[in-house]
Amino acid sequence: MPVEEFVAGWISGALGLVLGHPFDTVKVRLQTQTTYRGIVDCMVKIYRHESLLGFFKGMSFPIASIAVVNSVLFGVYSNTLLVLTATSHQERRAQPPSYTHIFLAGCTGGFLQAYCLAPFDLIKVRLQNQTEPRAQPGSPPPRYQGPVHCAASIFREEGPRGLFRGAWALTLRDTPTVGIYFITYEGLCRQYTPEGQNPSSATVLVAGGFAGIASWVAATPLDVIKSRMQMDGLRRRVYQGMLDCMVSSVRQEGLGVFFRGVTINSARAFPVNAVTFLSYEYLLRWWG
């Protein structure tokens, strides 16, 4: 099995993640704190009080997990295409695979990466939702003191299966949307590239950016449900299951609930996925 795709997926995912982390920090702060007036105000305050480093808090754990998640995503995608079409990455410009094959390979990659992502994503969401300020002498410490402590506590309090809370919603979110991700990317690249040639850097950046936005917009409804399922179980159980979570969220908050956070998510998705695809393509061209 060609391994370059796994390694290229890992490195490119890490580069994208570093670029997107400042957006993620702003998103989390806006979602959980009331001291900021908006995106710009939040950025200015972080910069003033915490310098540029403030934007990169809590990045080590996602960097470690993206190694697994993105290498599975790209590695499985590319190797599934190899099985379906008998063409390697290098041959695919000359013999482009059909969109059906691209979609199927994307769905396979999305399905398998969702399982690897589930525990990491659960821990990220639990930590991001801790609104307590940093530990001060005298005040009770936050429930989770860091990613490892968080994982151990979930394991102890909710059992090993607790680490996979929300995994079904995550799988449903990612299986079709990773298909959309690769179809958008390939479609845009083909549109702007003369036949048989490699797409230019500008094309890869734009196609990657829009692939990120399109897939995140499609993923947002189940993203909201997934996050709610992951937070359920922290204290008492509120939802009987995914469907119950959907119905009661819509009943209480209207259909708009399915598009919470879509703006900042799209703003993050463009640079992250532009850089991810650019580095992925270039690494494979180098090694090819």
Ligand X SMILES: C[N+](C)(C)CCCC[C@H](N)C(=O)O
Greatest pairwise CA separation for the chain in angstroms: 67
Distance CA 255, CA 263 (A): 16
Residue 73: CB minimum distance to ligand X, A: 7
State which residue, 111 or 155, has the beta carbon closest to ligand X: 111
Which residues contact ligand X (rule: CB under 6 A)? Answer: 13, 173-174, 177-178, 181, 212, 215-216, 219, 269, 272-273
Give 41-108 as a DSSP string: HHHHHHHHHHTGGGGGTT-HHHHHHHHHHHHHHHHHHHHHHHHHH---GGGGTTSPPPHHHHHHHHHH
State which residue, 51 or 218, has the beta carbon closest to ligand X: 218
State which residue, 155 or 259, has the beta carbon closest to ligand X: 259
Residue 13: CB minimum distance to ligand X, A: 6
State which residue, 139 or 263, has the beta carbon closest to ligand X: 263
Tell me if 212 sits within 8 A of 145, measured CB to CB: no
Distance CA 81, CA 197 (A): 19
Residue 205: CB minimum distance to ligand X, A: 14
> In this structure, what token pair is assigned to residue 157?
């309090």
State which residue, 81 or 138, has the beta carbon closest to ligand X: 81
Residue 286: CB minimum distance to ligand X, A: 22
Distance CA 27, CA 22 (A): 9
State which residue, 63 or 135, has the beta carbon closest to ligand X: 63
Tell me if 66 sits within 8 A of 15, measured CB to CB: no
Residue 158: CB minimum distance to ligand X, A: 24
- Name residue 89's amino acid: H
Q: Where are the alpha helices (DSSP H) in the chain?
A: 4-32, 39-50, 60-85, 99-128, 147-158, 167-191, 201-231, 242-253, 262-287
State which residue, 45 or 57, has the beta carbon closest to ligand X: 57
Residue 110: CB minimum distance to ligand X, A: 6
Residue 121: CB minimum distance to ligand X, A: 10
- Assign 242 to helix, strand or coil: helix
